[in-house]
Structure 1
Amino acid sequence: MKFRIFTEPQQGATYDDILAVAQTTERLGFDAFFRSDHYQAMGDGDGLPGPTDAWTTLAGLARETKRIRLGTLVSSVTYRPPGILAIQVAQVDQMSGGRVELGLGTGWFEQEHLAYGIPFPAKRFGMLEEQLEVITGLWNTPAGQRYDFAGEHYTLVDSPALPKPVQARVPVIVGGGGAKRTPKLAARFATEFNLPFPDFADIAAKFDGVRAACEAIDRDPAELTYSAALIAVGGHDETAFTRRAAAVGREPAELREHGLAGTASEIVDRLGTLRDSGVECVYLQIMDIYDLDHLSWLAAEVVPQLR
């Protein structure tokens, strides 16, 4: 299993706060550092000192880390035109020496769009499909050739399709719980299919749906990585776990039911169940980014038992 740290900086973090988590992630041997792509805090928090832009942040981290993969889980199609996003991701890939991954989704948080004047169309799935086609089309266009696209949502005319990423194929993550359209998109465009905060009982069937979609277009389902994102809150004993649960405003019983929570043995058992369901990569959602000891504990007591 691969283990990636996944953060929610919109809840309140400076770039330096995020950098500390990313560099700790690298030092402790995790596979990657990912962040959400949001512009407003959720829940009761005030979000101070304010949001950070995901791709601006990742550009900085690209220069201040050396090994870990870097990406978004996930960027919203409402924020950036696909041509601009393709340039941003390619540039950060160059800055990192080829360590970037792009998670892309439809977006869902209407309030942040209202707060910052970002259009929020009622129907966005078509935008996602076209963005995936445009971004991968731009990257795959040979240097010296031009790229054109005419769709319902986007039109590109005589694009030089530059710059190119360092990686021959930037990993693209598509995810969600939809039964039909999402698996088809993953089969067409993705290198990874992600289930965000799934019901444990549904995981195997959701993955089977993606495999079937791959087979329907004669793609080998084994080409995809199958992953899940889950909140992680743990401790060496019940007191430590309860304290960390309180720090992120969650109830211990609820965390145990829906996340990776409790003592090391409890989390390892849950991860074993996930592995049996087909999960190959786990995004550990860390809500208290200031508790770096939590990352150290996970790296020492949980991760080695599943690798």
Structure 2
Amino acid sequence: MDLRIFTEPQQGATYDTLLAVAKATEDLGFDAFFRSDHYLRMGTVDGLPGPTDAWITLAGLARETKRIRLGTLMTAGTFRLPGVLAIQVAQVDQMSGGRVELGLGAGWFEEEHKAYGIPFPKEKFARLEEQLEIVTGLWATDPGKTFDFHGTYYDLTESPALPKPAQRKIPVLVGGHGPSRTPRLAAKYADEFNMPFASVEDSERQFGRVRAAAEEAGRDGHELTYSNALVVCVGRDDAEVARRAAAIGREVEELKLNGLAGSPSEVVDKIGRYAEAGSSRIYLQVLDLDDLDHLELISAQVQSQLS
């Protein structure tokens, strides 16, 4: 089971804070550092000092880390034109020496679009499908050839399809709870399917839909990596769990029900249930980015039992 650290910087984090978390991620043996792609805080937090851009952040971290994978859960398709996004991600991949992964979603948080003047179209899912075809098509175009795409929402003519990423193929992540269109999209374009904030039972059901969609598309459904994203709150004893839950404004019992919370042994046991459902990778949503001792505990007493 791979464990990855997943952050939500729109809730309040500077680049230096994210750098400290990314370096701890690397030093403590976790597989990857991922971040959300949002421009507005959620809930009652003040979000200070304000948002940081996902791909600018990852470009900086690409130069200041050496081993960990770097990526987004999920880049909002509404934020960037697909041709521009393909350039950005390929460049960051070059800057990292080939350690980047792209999670791409339709975009959903209307308030942040209003706050920063970003169009919020109705037909987001149809646009996402074209975006995935364009981004992956640009990267896959042979050097010296050009890429053309004439869709409903985007039109590219004689694109040189440059720059190329360092990796032969940048892993693409698709995720979500949708019962039909989402599995079909994952089957066509994704290297990894991510089920965010879902129960073991719902994850197993959705993984099955994705495998079936892949088989229907003529692809081995077991080719994909299946993963979950879950909030994490681990403590050596009940008091430490309660303190960490309070720090992120959550209740312990709710976290135990909907996330990975409790003692290291409780969390290891629950991760095992997700593994039985087909998950081979967990994105640990860390909400208190100043609590690096939390990461040390997870590394020493959770990750060590899963390797």
TM-score by length of 1: 0.99
Question: Which residue matches 1:157?
Answer: 157
CA shift digits 1:95-149 (9 cap, x unpaired): 0000000000011111000000000012200011000000000000101111110
Q: Does 1:26 align with 2:26?
A: yes
Distance 1:245 1:45 in 2: 15
- After superposition, residues 55-74 of structure 1 pair within 5 angstroms as 55-74=55-74
Question: Which residue matches 1:203?
Answer: 203
**C-alpha displacement at 1:306, in angstroms?**
1.5
Question: Which residue matches 1:225?
Answer: 225
Distance 2:222 2:99 in 1: 22
Q: Aligned pair count?
A: 307
Question: Which residue matches 2:252?
Answer: 252
Distance 2:269 2:137 in 1: 42
Distance 1:305 1:274 in 2: 15
- After superposition, residues 71-150 of structure 1 pair within 5 angstroms as 71-150=71-150
Q: Does 1:172 align with 2:172?
A: yes
CA shift digits 1:36-73 (9 cap, x unpaired): 00001100011110100000000000000000000000
Match of 1:207, SS? helix
Identity in percent: 63
**C-alpha displacement at 1:204, in angstroms?**
1.1
* Structure 2 alignment gaps of length 5 or more: none
Match of 2:296, SS? helix
Distance 2:141 2:220 in 1: 23
**C-alpha displacement at 1:205, in angstroms?**
1.2
Q: Please provide the CA RMSD for this pair.
A: 0.6
**C-alpha displacement at 1:203, in angstroms?**
1.3
Q: Does 1:194 align with 2:194?
A: yes
TM-score by length of 2: 0.99
Question: Which residue matches 2:275?
Answer: 275
Distance 2:206 2:304 in 1: 27
CA shift digits 1:74-108 (9 cap, x unpaired): 00000000000000000000000000000000111
Q: Does 1:296 align with 2:283?
A: no
**C-alpha displacement at 1:200, in angstroms?**
2.2
Match of 2:168, SS? coil
Distance 1:40 1:168 in 2: 34
Match of 1:34, SS? strand
Match of 1:215, SS? helix
Distance 2:2 2:46 in 1: 33
Question: Which residue matches 1:261?
Answer: 261
Moved over 3 A (4+): none
Match of 1:302, SS? helix
